[in-house]
Chains A and B, each alone.
Chain A
Amino acid sequence: MNTIKCSTCGHPNKEGTTICGKCGKPLDNDQQGTLLNMRYDGSAIRSKTKNRSIVDKTWNFFSSIKVGVTLIAIALVASALGTIYPQEMYIPQNVDPALHYRDQYGLSGQIFYQLGFHNLYNSWWYMVLIALIGISIFIVSIDRGVPLYKALKNQAIKRHPNFLKRQKLFGEYTDYHAEDKTRFINNLKKHRYKITEKDGHILAEKGRFSRWGPYVNHLGLIIFLLGTLFRFIPFMYVDDFVWVREDETAVIPSTNQQYYIKNEEFIFETYGNDDEDEIFEAALQNTNGPVPKHFETSAIIYEDVSKDVIGSEPELKEVKSGEIIVNEPLKIDGLALYQDSYQLNEFQTMSFKLHEVDEEEEEAIVEFTVDLTDPESEYVFDNGYRIELNRFYPEYELNNGEPRSKSNYPRNPGFVFFVYGPDIEEREASFLAIGQNIPSGDNQYKLSLTDFGVRDVSGLKVRKDLTLPIIGLGAFIFMIGVVQGMYWQHRRIWIHQATDRIYIACHTNKNWYGLTKEFEKIIDGTSFTMVRDQEKKNDA
């Protein structure tokens, strides 16, 4: 790292410095006549060192505003593209995504899918992109924030005349009185400028804190990004789901089997059942099927107080009960249970009667009910008949001619019964399912479905999010930074006392118009004239 020695005061400046840190003399001798670039007060940003190690090279890459803006632009474009078609999680669950995008949106949909945009916001490269933006923001803040802070904290009151001469707003006065200067300073104080003086040279300054707006901004963004990162820590963020059947107690996932939930009742109301709903009659006729009006789960939450090993029968203590309505979750221990989905009328019980094959209307020989949640394998009757449930398929389907169950849930139950009786030689087999009643061979007796009981299933979303306060804090700090940088300006006025004249120069980081207007008021009652806008002169 080379240093540049100031030709006037001899202060060694870092390479890349454009204005001497001590006396304020411009160091770019070849560009006299042009206005000074006051960015970071002319101090060198930290990345302006010769690339030596790989660390420095990486650092310099991320410290570039150009790189940062490019990353943000790429992220913006990618995010926008991801919203063109729905993300994978929002398309129907039972379709193949590859086919769905092609069928629904044609060629563009297929391209969308093949480029991986269907799962954009969870894709590794999108995450990397966002993380790189975070890294860029962090490094840029250090790289530019620290030198700016140093430059502003240690700024010299006396500045080299060339520094003043090359400011945008500049005035040179030979004809003035001492009281003009006093009055000028008093006016500055009235406009809430902070005055510092050294050997007759004056620096008036206000609103310096607004310069930290962007850095406060960046801090907020970094906290925000950290918050989103914390979502990957299981204890901070839970997003789970549980099906609970009416009258059933299920373990709440993601609670280490600590909590259980019982579905007391699932209440489902549709439009059209109420007198008040008459007004919707016309609208309802245009829809297929009922329109849900209200659904809620009345639930009890239990805590397992037994210290037993997992799997043993839990000892449940009621801790809370209440209704779960769409946006009114039941909360326990930071965990919120939301009403999310439902399945109506799942079979719970089925009743059968045994009768003679030929006479359907004949009175039942025996009647029995199978509890589908816990079927018994044998039903024995006093009159000598015995029925064995040989096979039970909760969700029956035929698979290559073989009956089997598709799932655990009695949505389409199928049964194989063996009937034994005093007048039956060995046994009679019957297969029963919804719409199917297949006796094997030449059965003497037949089983028929007489009745069934149903229950509803409530789908509950289990959510916990401790990252929201962090994300909120980040957003809040971000807004503070925005306000700080937006509504105040850093204004500085230098008065350089030379032997026979006075130089006045003004600088602001924005709103030059406001500064000129303010300057007009400050010179009120003095013999000082308005400062020249040197930029305008150059244009003319």
Chain B
Amino acid sequence: MDKIEQAKQKKQVKKRNRFIFRSAILVVLFGALLFAVVSNLTAEEEAAVDIKDQAPDFELNRIANNEDTVESSLQLSDLEGKGVMLNFWATYCEPCEREMPYMEELYPKYKEQGVEIVAVSVDATELVIDKFVDQYNLSFPILHDKNSQVLDAYGIRPLPTTYFIDENGVVVERVLGELSLERLEGYLQQIVPEGT
């Protein structure tokens, strides 16, 4: 009786070990498979900066679009405590052009609530940005990423790409492509700092 019990116990241990061993190997192998598939699928639209990431700090020259533009440059970290909508655009990009009036329309309202709109242009020459700003009468800060450094740091592929960053500098939303007025307002509401 004792021997049978022992044998049974031994068998149980063996079975358990086998289960653990096989499960561990299968988990590792399928983990690798999953990693490969997921990274392959996300590779194409992957940006260096994604949702929940800390938005990398940068400093760029401002296009003088406003009489009371005193500062000649703007640093992202200076806007800490405010929600920031960071829009990457260019004058030759039609969807970017289409969403500009929406941004201009919502800017005064959300500025009051502690949200800053910052538009980073990747145009080659300052002149074309200048003329564009005049044409649309844009009042929010327009920055010029002349050497595409910020574009590179953020890993921007399509234009426009828009980041919505909360008061702690964390990316809340990343939008590839054009925004409608309603969507834009919805995202802006998400980054209104608390207590304002």
Q: Which residues of A does B touch, CB under 8 Å?
A: 1, 49, 52-53, 55-56, 58-59, 122, 124, 127-128, 131-132, 134-135, 138-139, 142, 226, 229, 232, 249-251, 253, 256-257, 308-312, 314, 372-377, 389-395, 399, 404-409
Q: Are B149 and A58 in contact (CB under 8 A)?
A: no
> Which residues of B26-67 are within 8 A (CB) of A?
26, 29-30, 32-33, 35-37, 39-41, 43, 56-60
Least distance between A540 CB and chain B CB atoms (Å): 46
Other than the known A1-B14, A58-B22, A409-B124, what 9 A-B pairs have Cβ atoms closer than 8 Å?
A: A55-B26, A131-B36, A229-B32, A229-B35, A232-B40, A251-B149, A251-B152, A314-B147, A408-B122
Contacts of B22 in A (CB 8 A): 55-56, 58-59
> Which residues of B2-22 are within 8 A (CB) of A?
11, 14-15, 18-19, 22
The residue of chain A having its C-beta at the shortest distance from the C-beta of B131 within the complex is A391
**Binary CB contact string for chain B from 117 to 151 against chain A (1 if under 8 A, 0 otherwise):** 00000111111101100000000000001011110
Least distance between B125 CB and chain A CB atoms (Å): 6
Q: Are A122 and B26 in contact (CB under 8 A)?
A: no
> Which residues of B49-94 are within 8 A (CB) of A?
56-60, 75, 77, 90-92, 94
Cα separation A132 to B26 with both chains bound (whole Å): 11
What is the size category of the interface that chain B forms with chain A?
35 or more
Listed residue (A56, A135, A310, A377) with the most chain B CB atoms within 10 angstroms of its CB: A310
Contacts of A309 in B (CB 8 A): 57-59, 75, 77
Least distance between B119 CB and chain A CB atoms (Å): 14
Q: Are A310 and B23 in contact (CB under 8 A)?
A: no
Contacts of B147 in A (CB 8 A): 249-251, 314
Q: Are A408 and B90 in contact (CB under 8 A)?
A: yes
Cα separation A56 to B14 with both chains bound (whole Å): 13
Least distance between B33 CB and chain A CB atoms (Å): 4
The residue of chain A having its C-beta at the shortest distance from the C-beta of B154 within the complex is A310
Q: Are B26 and A1 in contact (CB under 8 A)?
A: no
* Ranked 5 nearest A-B pairs via Cβ: A232-B39, A311-B58, A131-B33, A310-B58, A405-B92
Cα separation A127 to B77 with both chains bound (whole Å): 42
What are 21 A-B contacts with C-beta separation under 8 Å? A1-B14, A53-B19, A55-B23, A59-B26, A131-B32, A132-B33, A135-B30, A232-B43, A253-B152, A257-B152, A309-B58, A310-B150, A311-B60, A373-B124, A373-B125, A377-B130, A392-B125, A394-B124, A395-B92, A405-B91, A408-B122
Contact of A124 among B19, B29, B37, B150 (CB under 8 A): B37
Cα separation A299 to B146 with both chains bound (whole Å): 20
Cα separation A134 to B14 with both chains bound (whole Å): 27
Cα separation A142 to B28 with both chains bound (whole Å): 14
Contacts of A394 in B (CB 8 A): 92, 124-125, 128
Contacts of A138 in B (CB 8 A): 25, 29
